Every structure is written in C-alpha cells, then in structure tokens.
Amino acid sequence: MIADEDLKPISVRQAVFDAVRMWKKRQKAAAGSGGERGEPLPLEAILQSIPRRQQSVPPDERKLWIPYVEPLPARNTFGQSLGRLFVWLRLILAIGLGDLFDRILRRDTLERRAARFRRALERAGGTFVKLGQQLAMRVDLVPWAYCVELSKMLDRMTPFPTEQALQAIERTVKRPWQEIFDVFDPTPIGSASLACVYQATLKDKTKVVVKVRRPGIKELFMADLQVLDWIAGLAEFLTIIRPGFTQKLRADLREILMEELDFRREGRFEDIFRRNAKKTGWKFFTAPRVHFEFSGDEVLVQEFVSGLWLWEVIAISEQKNTRGLALLKELNIDPAVVARRILLAFFWSADEHVFFHADPHPANILIRPNNEITFIDFGSCGSFNNQQRVALEQMVLSMKNQDVEAMTRASLSLMEPLPPVDLPSLVKQAQEEYMRVLHTFNTPAEYTQYWERTSARQWFVLIRVAQKFNLPMNLHMLRMIRATLLYDSIVLRLDNQLDRYHEYTEFMKIRAQLVKRKWRRKLHDNAGDGVFLNIEDLGNAFNDLMIRAQTTLGRPIVSLGSTVNKWVFATSVLSRMAGRILFVTVLCMSLIGALHFLAGSPISFVGAVEQVIQNRLYQLFLLFAVVFSMRLILFRLRDRDI
C-alpha cells in the first residue's frame, strides 16, 4: 500500500517536454559516435552473438509426436497364399477320406466325425487351431457335437528360437534386452500357435512373464484367411452353400484373429480389468499388472503370478486325491468358495463392467492361497449395450421366478432388431422349449447331471429358435453364450450343489450397493452448475426416444418390397441363365459349322443344332446351368426378409 503523502502531482506538459528533450539528446549521441560525418558502425560491431538458453534436448533428438494409429493388417503375397492352399486341400482330403471310410465300415457317427475334425486341426496347428477354437463358439452355425469336441482343442506348438524372441523384445523397447532383464529363462513355460511365454526377472528383481508373438504369424494368418475366402467363394459359386452364408463368419474370424494378435490391446484390457476390480473393494479377484514400458504390439510383459491352475483344483476336487486335498487345506483353498467367487466376478464383469472375459477356460484362471482368483489372457473379451444387459438380467430373474413368458420376451430382446418373421409361431415354440428347461431345473440335483443344470439348456432354446427362423446372432452374443457355458461348467464341477440363480439374486443385492455408491459419487461430482448438464442430458435422451418411436411407428407392418425383389431376382437369374445357354449354343454351332466347312462338307443349321444338343459335354453344361440357377433362386426365396 502506498501512502497518500508519497504521491506527487506531475505536469503532463512538462513530462512530454522532458521526454522529447531526452530523445533528441540520444539522437545526437548516436550521430557523434559514428564519426564527424555520421558514418554507420562497422558490421563487426552490429553482428554479435546474443546469449540464449541452453536447450534440454539436443536438436537432433527432437521428434514430432502424433496420435498412435493402429497398424494395418499385414499384406500377404499371392505365392504364400497359394502355398497355404495346398495345406488346406490336404487337410480337407484327410478329413473327407476318414469320413468316407467310416461310412463304408458302417461306424460313422456325428461324434466320430467331430473328433476326427478336431484331431486334424490340432495336427495342422497354427491358424487351424484358432479356427477350431472360434468354430466352437459358433453354436448358431456348427452342430453342437462339433462345438463340444472343438472346445477340447489343445493349442501346443514347437517353440521358436529364443534369439527371435530377444530380437522382438529389442524392437519393442528400442535398446538391448540385457538393459531390461537381470535374468531371462530361454526355455519357454508355454508354447502355442500364437506366442511363446517366458519367465524373467527385471533389473529391480521383479519377476515377470514375457509373452512374445510368434514370428511371421500375422502373415500366416492373413494367407490362411485369403485361402478361406477362396474356398468359401468357390463353394458359394457352385451353390454348395448359400451365397453369402459364410461372409459374416469369415468377417468375425478375421476380426477375432487380428484382435488376438494385438498384444497392446490385450495389455490395456488386462490393466482396465485389474484397476476396476480394485475399485469394487473386493480383494478376492484381480489380473496381473502390466509393464507397459516394456510392452508393445508383439511383446507383453506382465507380473508373474504363482498359484494353482483352476484345472488342478477341479481335478483334485473331482478325484478326491488325498495329497491334493491336503495341499488345498494348507493353502486355505475351498473349491465351493472358489466357485461362488468366480461366479460373482463373472456377474460383475457382465453387468457392471465395460467388458467381460470371454475365454474363461481353466487354463486362464489361477487360484492363489485364501481363495484368491487371478484371471489371465485377455485376448478375447466381449461387451454389451444397456439394452442387452437388461435383457440378460431379465432372463436370469425370470428363470428363477419360473416365468416362461418373461423368459421368451427377454430372449427375443437379445436378438433385436428382428427381421419380419412369424412371431406367434416363434413365441409359441420358445415357450414350449423353456417349459422343458424349467422341468429339468425343478428336478433335484442328485437326480441330474451337473451339465443339465447349467445355462446350456437355456441357451439351447435361443440357438434352436434362431436356426429354425433364420435369425441373426451378433458376435458379442456368441461370446456371451460361450463364456456363460464355460463359467457354469467350471463352477458346477467345483461345487455340484451350487444354484446359479440363487447366486445371481445375491449378486443383485450387492449390485444395489454398488449402484448406490456410484450415484452418490455422481451427485457429489455434479453438485452446483453440473445440474444443468444433467438437464441437458435428459433433454437429449428424450429427443432420442422420440426419434426411435417415430422410426418404429413409421416402419410398415407388412413389407411387399422384399417379395417383389425376390421374384425380380429370380427373373434376373433365369434371364442370365438363358443368355449363357444361348451364347454357348451359338458358339458350339459356329465351331461345328467351321469344322465341317474346312472339311469340305458344309452342314445345315438344323444339323448343327442336333449335333450340339446330342453332345455329352453340352448336356452336362445345361444340367449344371439349370441346377446352379435353381439353387440360387431357392436360396434367395428362403432368405429372410429385410
């Protein structure tokens, strides 16, 4: 604060005069320093260095950082795809001959064909193992016996040289691997078609697991996918299968394989799961910590977790092994507690979390002392929108309440939007199937097998209805079905008296507490001006609801356009068939006429027509053209309306 007595009045006029006088004085001084005739200063006096700040980073090490963009899938060469084609043909021939011999010997069954198919894929390895694992999930397309058999597939391959793994690590961390690891075990603890897994110790003595992608596996996958496109395209062209039938299957397979090849994505999912599990306050399940500073697209470094594999706990529990039971008691592991905790973790990830672990087989779950659970390998994950979450919740609760109509409505909600179908017939069949499911679940546990009380019976209804009425099923729905079947199977093998629907009811009570805590946090964060943002969100939600209602009400109940399009398609196919037949006929007649003319014995028009019609190859062509066109028309007429 400046005191009033320190302020002195200043005359503006006097201040201006003083400033002008000082400026003139500086001008005269500058002119005098340049010499008597005002000569300019020499360049050396003007061109001088000025002190500057020393930069913290040398100029040659500066980089322009841009947002990370996911790399495009590797491009395979035609030669590599052609080489893989012979591998596919050899595999198809081996499976076909095996099925043929079984038919000749009259011992052919669906189970034997499924087992032979699984063994052939395991022997081929690589992409074929991944193809079999994904086909096991396609319960909407593949017979159930094949799905059960393919779920037993073992993914084991010979390890690749350790030198290649160390080179991949150096490409990821951009420095010698010796600067990262204190100890690196060159013998992998696991070797599969996709990667090899090693154990190592960092410089700070932290024990880690190093997962390295198999060299060239991305190019191999792309080549095999190209071959699969060729084979499927040929089968569809020959109308062995309906045109477009495998398009979605091949697109889903490509998406899944590319996801599993991206270790950066897997690491992010694993880290998100671990952090969000910690926020729940439950300390009995988690995932390993990921060292992102040493990880990349082809290398994943994560915390080493020791414990018993879930399949070991299941084997001890089922076989009643004395030494095994003593080990479980020593580690304070109770199979019944483990079963309920696994189910609780699944309910949380499916209902509350952003995604769920879609491949929870016993080799991807570790059991630690005091019944603690660690999930690993997040290469396959699924997610749901809010509508699907509500439908799944209603399915479970209506099953517990034995409400067949509510079960049917929830099932249809999972498959929306539905194409035009015979809805009364669909609902009637679904209700009859669900009634049979309720009869099984009402039977005491001691009179049924454990698999009869899993959700498999409930999903069977959904699958059969979808197959009969040609309803689509999205990839996340299929992942959910497979994950649910796996979770139910492992928990019932740990405790065959467990009631899944009772456990879900108990989880809903816990979930209510989680939701209450979440809303309290939101109300605290949105206090004050945040209330206006909530009002705006409600307005946007109302507008979206009105648009959806307008779209639904404006949709015609009966669509005649699809029927017209089907007959237009049939007419188009028949006209193209007639054009091809006419072209081939004229070409053959011209060839016959030219040959007779060169031989010196011209032939009449009628004679040329008769020779063409009597030709065996021409008759075979006519048969093929007619069958090909009629199958295309039948496929289109049976296709669902859109």
93 or 47, greater pLDDT: 93
179 or 524, greater pLDDT: 179
Assigned token pair, 43: 């360049």
Tell me what the mean pLDDT of segment 49-65 comes to: 64
Tell me what the mean pLDDT of segment 30-40 comes to: 56
Phi, psi of 542 (to 5 degrees): -65, -40
Confidence band of 556 (pLDDT split at 50, 70, 90)? very low
> For residue 196, what are the CA distances in angstroms to 161, 184, 188, 357, 362?
10, 13, 6, 21, 19
pLDDT for position 2: 44
Q: Would you tell me the crossing angle of helices 386-400 and 335-351 to the nearest 10 degrees?
A: 140
How confident is the model over 341-365, as pLDDT tens digits?
Answer: 999 998 888 888 888 888 888 888 9
Burial 308-324, CB ≥16 within 10 A → b, else e: bebebbbebbeeeeeeb
> For residue 279, what are the CA distances in angstroms to 283, 353, 356, 365, 518?
10, 11, 16, 21, 11
pTM score of the predicted model:
0.69
pLDDT for position 63: 53
> How does the average pLDDT of the chain come out, rounded?
78
Cα separation, 370 vs 69, whole angstroms: 43
How confident is the model over 108-132, as pLDDT tens digits?
Answer: 888 889 889 888 888 877 778 878 8
Cα separation, 201 vs 196, whole angstroms: 17
How confident is the model over 242-285, as pLDDT tens digits?
Answer: 777 777 778 877 888 888 888 999 999 999 999 999 988 888 99
What is the pairing mode between strands 190-191 and 207-213? unpaired
Residue 390 has pLDDT above 90, yes or no: no
Centre a 10 Å sphere on the Cβ of residue 597 and count the other Cβ atoms it contains.
Answer: 11
- Fill in the amino acid letter for 8: K
| Domain ranges across the chain | 78-156+225-258, 162-217+260-338+360-379, 382-525, 561-638
Q: Considering only the top CATH level, what class is 162-217+260-338+360-379? A: alpha beta
